[in-house]
Structures are given as C-alpha cells and as structure tokens.
C-alpha cells in the first residue's frame, strides 16, 4: 500500500524527510495491512508513504535513512489512562483492594506539590516513552491548596520528553463527611473545581490536529464527586468542545455504593448526569453487564482497559471481548503506578491478551493483533484522535515505533507481532512523535533518565517525610 500525501499536505521539495527501510510493518489500518519487509517515508510531521520493499527513488530533502532490518514498525502506543503523581507512592498498600488502598493513600497524596508532580510526571512519562508510548492521557484529580500549577507541571514534563499528552483535569468535591470516600481536606468545592477546570482548558488546550497538549474535563469517580459536579462538568466540557473522562464500574464496592446512594448502578447513574457519549471515555469498566455494554456501544462511550491495575487491586476481569463485539471503543491504560508499578504500556498488550483468556472466551478472547490494535488504533479512538493517530497511513501524524526483534528475546519467533505481544519487553530502536525522534537505541533524547530517576527518588522521600 504505497500512498501519496493527502490533499493539503506539504509536498515542497524542501520538506524534511526521514526514510525507514527493511523493517516489518504492522500498519493497524482498517484492513490490518502488514508487510514482511517494507518502507516508511516521513515528511515533516506526517507519514508520506508506507508500503512493501524499498522506498521510492528520487526523494528530495532526505535528512536521515534508518536501517530497519530486524525491526517491526508499529504506530506509537497510546496510553488512555494514568495518574502520573502516583509514581512517588509505588509499592504501598500492596495487598489492599481499591477502597482500602485509597483510604490508605489519600492522606499521602494530599501532600503533593508542584515540584513533586513535575518529578513524578517526568518519571512516569520517561518510563512510557522509553517503552514505545507516544501519546499519554493523565488523570490528575488531587489539588491541595497553595501547591502551585500541578497540571502545568506535568505538561512541562511532557513537552521535555516530546510526547503527546491529554491532560485530564480531575476533581473531587465529595468528602467523607458528606458520604464520599476521600477525606475532606483532599477535596475542592464544586464551584472551585469547575472554575479551575475551565481555566485549565483556556490556558492549555490545543484543539488542532497536530496538537501535543489537549485538556479533558475529568471529575474523579462516582464515590468522590457530587452529582452536581458530574452534570455541570458535562455541560462545561460540551460548551468548551473538549472530552470527558472519569472512572466507572471499577469494583463491586463501587456498584454497591451507587445502588445504595442513588438507587441504580454506575452506568445508569453516570448516564443520568450526562456522562455517556462519543466525547466520553471511562477507566476500568470491570463490572459491566450486557445492558451496560449495550449503552456504551449505542452512545459510543469509550473504555480505558487497565488489565495490570485491575489484577493488582483484585478488581476483576473486564469483559473486553464482549465490548469489542458490541462496538465499544476500547484502548489500553497503564493506570497509576501505585497500582501498576511497572509503569509501562507495552506490558499491557501481553497482560490484556493473557488475562482475557482466563475469561469465558478462553483462547478465543483476544489474539496478538487485537492486543496491538487496543494499544494503538483503539487508544486513538478512545481519545478522539483516530483521524490523525493510531495507524501507519499516508497523511496521518508520524508517530511510530521501531521495535528491535532480532535479539535473544525475540529472534526465534517468526511472526513479528506475536514476538512483540507475547515476548519479553522489546527494545525500542527508534520512537518518533510528529516525525521527530524521541527515543534512539532505547535512550530518551529529550531528558536524562539518570537525572529523572534521581529527582523522583528525592521527591518520593520528601513526600514520605
């Protein structure tokens, strides 16, 4: 499938081009097109051509040629749910289910400040970018008073590393004294949360197709926010033209909370506050019956599937195969590293496949290409960026990864996609965002990994003190 630039795309002879040749290619396009040996031409920030064999001759403005032999090219991975700040509290509450885990950690998290969040975001993003993530969504919902610009801190970290970010400005306004789960000192007022969220959108959101920073409206969860905040946040997001994100149906305890407090399950409750639609995605969605899945499919509501975190907190197994059959948009999420200490999205491809095969579909639940699609095209759709991200096609943004598969961990697996998904974590030879390399030979180009680790350790100790 050798392609030509789409209408309106820059084609001037002075366009800076990068040519990748000799690699296997999994485009993850609508037809699942793959090439055992192929080429990619990146022109500026876009993919100009992708196809079998060598690149066409006569290309002008080529500044780099990449030898892709022994490598697999895929779209960059898209992480649809994270909590960067939790990097500083990894390894705590190791054997607790969600509600107990939150009760233990809320008081610690309420002490974070801008310096801590910046260090945690650098570390969280550094780990993901080094492992093939090119777009990440972070859900930050704790804003202690007088602690600086926490959202701005993580946006700065993302810009350093060169990764695309959807910053989901979260909020909580339902403290323990009003029947919620978080302690009162960890919540905002309803009015304050809405005002701060609108300010964040005005300051940071870029709606353009090439955007590196977008902002979503993201009240935390049904057990930490009021119905007023949910409904007014939905109205705010739609007035501003941005997306909506929250946690939903994560645990049985959450379902019981909703039935006791609202007389209905989480999906029906969220629907009653305006929280179903193509502009909405929810994290986890573990405890969903057929009616819930049908409601998500009918409205186009997306799901961030977080298999490792769901297992770490013993939340359960999400019905991903049933969601996909129904047409629900599904992507993968790391979740916060206090409940998924690896911090990598690459491991979620393998875990999504393996854990879902423990469900009712068994070996027919997911295959390796479905897992790759969840992490790329599926994630792009969940974040509302499927027109520009998630597949290797001419005209789309040049966000892609070259995975090295000729080493000890992968060289005997003939199917490169199977090697990537089922094998050990594959080294990243190159990772590009908008045509610019952000990783080369496993090394971050935009920030220093040693400095990131050192500063994160300093801030983690400071938080513990």
Contact 287, 323 (CB under 8 A): no
What is the tally of helices (H) and strands (E) in the chain? Answer: 15, 17
* 203: in domain: yes
Contacts of 362 (CB under 8 A, 6+ apart): none
* Of 12 and 152, the one with more pLDDT: 152
Q: Produce one character per residue of 37-58: b if its CB has 16 or more CB atoms within 10 Å, e if not.
A: ebbbbbbbbbbbbbbeeebeee
Whether the predicted pLDDT of 4 surpasses 90: no
Residue 342: HSE in the Cβ half-sphere, 13 Å Cα cutoff: 15
* 280: in domain: yes
Can you list the alpha helix ranges (DSSP code H) found in 266-400?
266-272, 290-299, 307-312, 320-326, 346-356, 368-373, 379-382
Do 36 and 141 lie in one domain? The reply is no
Region label for 53, one of left (φ > 0), alpha (ψ between -120 and 50) or beta (otherwise): left
Among 49, 7, 10, 50, smallest CA distance to 27 is for 50
CATH number for 110: 3.20.20.140
Among 345, 343, 365, smallest CA distance to 353 is for 365
Contact 428, 403 (CB under 8 A): yes
Contacts of 191 (CB under 8 A, 6+ apart): none
* 155: in domain: yes
* 28: in domain: yes
Do 220 and 341 lie in one domain? The reply is yes
Do 110 and 199 lie in one domain? The reply is yes
Among 281, 260, 152, smallest CA distance to 213 is for 152
* 387: in domain: no
Structural domains of the chain, count = 2
* 465: in domain: no
Max Cα–Cα distance, the chain, nearest Å: 70
CATH number for 429: 2.30.40.10
pLDDT tens digits, residue range 327-356? 999 999 999 999 999 999 999 999 999 999
Strands in 68-132 per DSSP E: 71-75, 77-79
User: How far is Cα 262 from Cα 371, in angstroms, rounded to an integer?
Assistant: 36
Q: Which residue range forms the structural domain that includes residue 402?
A: 17-76+395-444
CA distances from 327 to 50, 136, 181, 294, 454 (A): 28, 23, 33, 9, 44
* 456: in domain: no
Do 199 and 284 lie in one domain? The reply is yes
CA distances from 160 to 96, 122, 362, 432 (A): 35, 8, 42, 14
Strands in 13-70 per DSSP E: 17-26, 34-43, 46-52, 62-67
At which residue do the structure tokens 């509290």 appear?
A: 89
Mean pLDDT of 136-143: 97
Do 257 and 182 lie in one domain? The reply is yes
pLDDT tens digits, residue range 245-282? 999 999 999 999 999 999 999 999 999 999 999 999 99
pLDDT tens digits, residue range 20-33? 999 999 999 999 99
Q: Record the tokens describing residue 148, joined without a space.
A: 């600086």
- In this prediction, residue 5 carries a pLDDT of 41
Do 214 and 168 lie in one domain? The reply is yes
User: How far is Cα 106 from Cα 223, in angstroms, rounded to an integer?
Assistant: 13
pLDDT tens digits, residue range 378-402? 999 999 999 999 999 999 999 999 9
Do 232 and 308 lie in one domain? The reply is yes
Do 57 and 126 lie in one domain? The reply is no
Do 300 and 427 lie in one domain? The reply is no
Percent over 70 (pLDDT), the chain: 97
User: How far is Cα 136 from Cα 163, in angstroms, rounded to an integer?
Assistant: 7
Q: What angle do CA 28, 80, 157 make, to 5 degrees?
A: 110
pLDDT tens digits, residue range 199-227? 999 999 999 999 999 999 999 999 999 99
Do 307 and 413 lie in one domain? The reply is no
Q: Record the tokens describing residue 222, joined without a space.
A: 């049904």
Whether the predicted pLDDT of 46 surpasses 70: yes
- In this prediction, residue 183 carries a pLDDT of 87
Average pLDDT of the chain, as a whole number:
95
Do 427 and 282 lie in one domain? The reply is no
Indicate the pTM of the whole model. 0.95
User: How far is Cα 433 from Cα 442, in angstroms, rounded to an integer?
Assistant: 15
At which residue do the structure tokens 């002075």 appear?
A: 14
Do 246 and 289 lie in one domain? The reply is yes
* 194: in domain: yes
């Amino acid at each position: 499938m050798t392609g030509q630039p789409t209408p309106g795309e820059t084609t001037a002879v002075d366009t800076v081009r990068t040519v990748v040749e000799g690699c296997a290619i999994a485009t993850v396009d609508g037809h699942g097109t793959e090439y055992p040996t192929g080429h990619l031409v990146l022109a500026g920030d876009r993919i100009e051509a992708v196809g079998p064999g060598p690149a066409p001759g006569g290309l002008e403005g080529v500044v780099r040629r990449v030898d892709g032999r022994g490598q697999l090219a895929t779209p960059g991975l898209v992480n649809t749910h994270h909590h960067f700040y939790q990097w500083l509290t990894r390894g705590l509450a190791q054997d607790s289910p969600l509600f107990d885990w939150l009760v233990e950690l809320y008081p610690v998290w309420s002490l974070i400040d801008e310096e801590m969040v910046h260090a945690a975001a650098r570390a969280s993003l550094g780990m993901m970018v080094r492992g093939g993530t090119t777009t990440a969504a972070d859900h930050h919902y704790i804003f202690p008073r007088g602690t600086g610009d926490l959202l701005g801190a993580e946006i700065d970290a993302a810009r350093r590393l060169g990764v695309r970010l959807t910053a989901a400005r979260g909020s909580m306004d339902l403290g323990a004294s009003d029947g919620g789960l978080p302690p009162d000192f960890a919540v905002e007022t309803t009015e304050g949360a809405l005002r701060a969220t609108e300010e964040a959108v005005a300051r940071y959101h870029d709606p353009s197709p090439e955007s590196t920073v977008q902002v979503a409206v993201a009240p935390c969860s049904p057990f930490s926010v009021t119905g007023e905040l949910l409904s007014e946040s939905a109205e705010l997001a739609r007035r501003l033209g941005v997306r909506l994100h929250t946690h939903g149906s994560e645990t049985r305890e959450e379902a019981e909370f909703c039935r006791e407090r609202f007389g209905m399950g989480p999906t029906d409750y969220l629907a009653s506050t305006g929280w179903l639609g193509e502009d909405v995605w929810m994290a986890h969605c573990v405890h969903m019956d057929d009616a819930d899945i049908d409601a998500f499919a009918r409205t186009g509501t997306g799901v961030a599937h977080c298999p490792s975190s769901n297992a770490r907190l013993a939340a359960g197994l999400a019905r991903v195969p049933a969601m996909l059959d129904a047409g629900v948009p599904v992507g993968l999420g790391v979740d916060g590293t206090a409940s998924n200490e690896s911090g990598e999205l690459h491991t979620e491809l393998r875990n999504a496949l393996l854990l879902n095969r423990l469900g009712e579909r068994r070996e027919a639940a997911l295959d390796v290409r479905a897992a790759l699609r969840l992490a790329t095209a599926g994630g792009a759709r969940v974040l509302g960026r499927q027109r520009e991200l998630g597949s290797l096609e001419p005209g789309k943004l040049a966000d892609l990864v070259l995975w090295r598969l000729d080493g000890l961990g992968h060289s005997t697996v003939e199917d490169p996609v199977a090697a990537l998904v089922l094998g050990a974590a594959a080294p990243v030879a190159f990772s590009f965002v908008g045509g610019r390399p952000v990783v080369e030979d496993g090394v971050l180009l935009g920030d220093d990994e040693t400095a990131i680790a050192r500063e994160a350790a300093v801030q983690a100790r400071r938080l513990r003190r």
